[in-house]
Amino acid sequence: MRHVDFAPLYRSTVGFDRLFNMLDSVGQPEQSYPPYNIERTGENTYRITMAVAGFDEKELSIEAHAHVLTVKGEKAEETAGESEYLYRGIAKRAFERRFQLADHVEVQSASLKNGLLHIDLLRNIPEAMKPRRIAIAADAAGAKAIEGQVSVN
């Protein structure tokens, strides 16, 4: 894939940095660990579910800052000589996964159960930005005055 240089656009636009950063990151290879699902659970609610088998609450951190949700996992160091692995199939590597959040999306809660980390999100649109219905008033007088003159029938 070809790389697009957004430098000329940076010089002539203000406030679109986040958009250009998102477009720039599209061509980068996607990290595959840990696997996750994103689901819509209601009209304005979402849930991210990540498979984090082997991690406990102390080894995970969740941070939301400037429209980016970051989930990090780092295993505690094992003491040498505990056991000898004949086969190691369970990943214990550290990870960092980032999710871009839309405007007005905030993290409601997070829970860890059976090796699955659930992060519940809510899109909370302010009242001023919600569409509102405008009432149309009917003219009760029936006749309209144009330039101060009333039409006589």
For residue 90, what pLDDT is reported? Answer: 75
For residue 107, what pLDDT is reported? Answer: 92
pTM greater than the 0.85 cutoff: no
Domains and CATH numbers, the chain: 1-30 (no CATH), 33-127 (2.60.40.790)
pLDDT tens for each residue of the chain, 153 residues long: 456 666 666 666 666 666 666 666 665 556 677 889 999 998 889 999 999 988 889 999 999 988 889 999 998 776 666 778 788 777 778 899 998 888 888 899 999 999 899 999 998 887 777 788 888 888 765 555 556 555 565
Instruction: Give the integer Cα–Cα distance in Å for 69 and 61.
Output: 11
